[in-house]
Amino acid sequence: MTQHTIIRLGHQGDGIAEGPIFVPRTLPGEVVSGTLNDSQLTDVRIEVPSDDRVAAPCRHYKSCGGCQLQHASDALVADFKADVVKAALSAHRLETEVRPTLTSPAQSRRRATFSVKRTKKGATAGFHGRASGVIVEVTDCLLVDPALLPALEVAKALALVGSSRKAEMSVAATLSGEGLDISVQGGKPLDGPLRIQLAQATETHGLCRLAWDGEVIAARGQAFQTFGAARVVPPPGTFLQATVHGEHALQALVMEICAGAKSVADLFAGCGTFSFPLLAHAEVHAVEGDAEMTAALAAGWRAAGGLRPLTSEARDLFRRPLLPDELKRFDVVVIDPPRAGAAAQVEQIIESTVKTVAYVSCNPVTFARDTAQLVSAGFTLEWVQPVDQFRWSSHVELVGKLTRL
C-alpha cells in the first residue's frame, strides 16, 4: 500500500497525484492509499477526505459507469467544469471572462441510450459499469427524467423479440411531445414476423414511435420536439440537446449574442434548436449536413406559419463550408459543430465580412483551437459560458461570443 495526495482532477474526472498517478473517484486535497499498478491506484482508501466530498445520492453509483462525480459537491463540479474550459483556452493563450457554470438539475435528461442484452431468465437493460462491459440496471437513475425510466422495460421487451442471446442492442429513448420515442440499433434483421411483433410492442407499451436500425416500424403519434414557436418531428435517434433546461440556456445565450441582428446564418443547425427561437426576430439561413434533419427543420417551419423567412440547405460544412461571398449578407453567424469543431468554416468566416460569431461547442479543446484562429485574425473573445447538461459527468458544453470591428 502506498499513500498519495490528490493534486487535481483530470479531464475525465479522476483524481491525479504526483507521478502522475490516476485515482478514480477522489478529489483535490484528499490523502489516499492503495495498490499502485503502473500509473493507476487500485483498492483505494480515503485516508483524509476533502470538505467537498459528499455521499453519492444514487444507489447505483459504485457499480454504474454513467456518472463520474457524484462524490463531489455541486460547487466543486461546477468549478471543475469552468476550469476545464479555462485550461483549454489557456493552452492557446486565450483570456476572457468565463462565466459561472449553468448546471441542469437532477432527473432532467430527456434522452438516454440504454444497453440491453438477453439473459437466461429474460433480459437486462441499463448503463455499462465503470470500465466494464457488464450492464448495470438503473431502475431509479437520478440522471434521467422519471418519465424516461419506463424505456428500460421497453428495452427488455424489445430484446426478447428482436435480439440474439449473444448480441447487445442499443436502445435510444427520447421524451417527445406525445410520449416515448424509441430507436433501436443492433437488433436482428427485419423480417415479416419481427415487424408484426415490433408493431405489437409499440401498442402494448404505448410508444409514440418505434424505429429499428433507422426504419420507422410504427408510430402512434407525432414524436415532435418544440423549438421556439415550432413543432419539429426529428428523424429517429437524431441528436437533441440532453435536457430542456440546458437547451433553453444555450438558446438564451445565442439570442443574447444575436440581439438586434436582422439576418443570421445557423450553421450545423440540426433540426432547428437555434433557428426557430431566432426566427422570432430575424431571418435565418439554416445549414445542416444531414438531409433528413434539414427536411424536418423545413417542415417544422412550414407547419408553424407566421414566422420570419427561413431558408435551409443540406450541406457538408466540413467539405463545403459557406464561402465569404455567401456569408456577407449575415449580421451574425451561429455555429454549433460536433466535437471535431469547425476549422474549415472558421477559415471562411475569417475571410468574410462577418463581425459577430456565436460559437456553441461540446468540446472545449476544439473550441479553443478554432477561437484562437479567429482571435489571431482580429476577433475578440468577449465571454464564455459553460453549460452542464451532463450532470455528475466530466463533460461540459459552452457558448462563446466573438466580435470584431
Please name every residue paired with 293 in a beta bridge, in sequence order, or none if there are none.
none
Strands of the sheet with 209-212, listed across from one edge:
135-136, 122-128, 111-119, 168-176, 179-185, 209-212, 215-219
Q: Which residues of 313-340 are buried (b: 16+ CB within 10 A; e: fewer)?
A: ebbebbeebbeeeebeebbbbbbbbeee
Cell of 206: 404505448
- Whether 258 sits among the annotated catalytic residues: the reply is no
Angle at 310 between CA 302 and CA 363, to 5 degrees: 110
In sequence order, what are the residues at sequence separation of 6 or more whose Cβ sits closer than 8 angstroms to the Cβ of residue 248?
Answer: none
3-state DSSP assignment of residue 282? coil
In sequence order, what are the residues at sequence separation of 6 or more whose Cβ sits closer than 8 angstroms to the Cβ of residue 212?
Answer: 162, 184, 187, 190, 198
- For residues 170 and 115, is the Cβ–Cβ distance under 8 A? yes
Rg (CA), the chain: 23
Cell of 38: 503502473
Point out the catalytic residue in the list 64, 208, 271, 362: 362
- For residues 264 and 332, is the Cβ–Cβ distance under 8 A? yes
Residues recognised as catalytic? 362
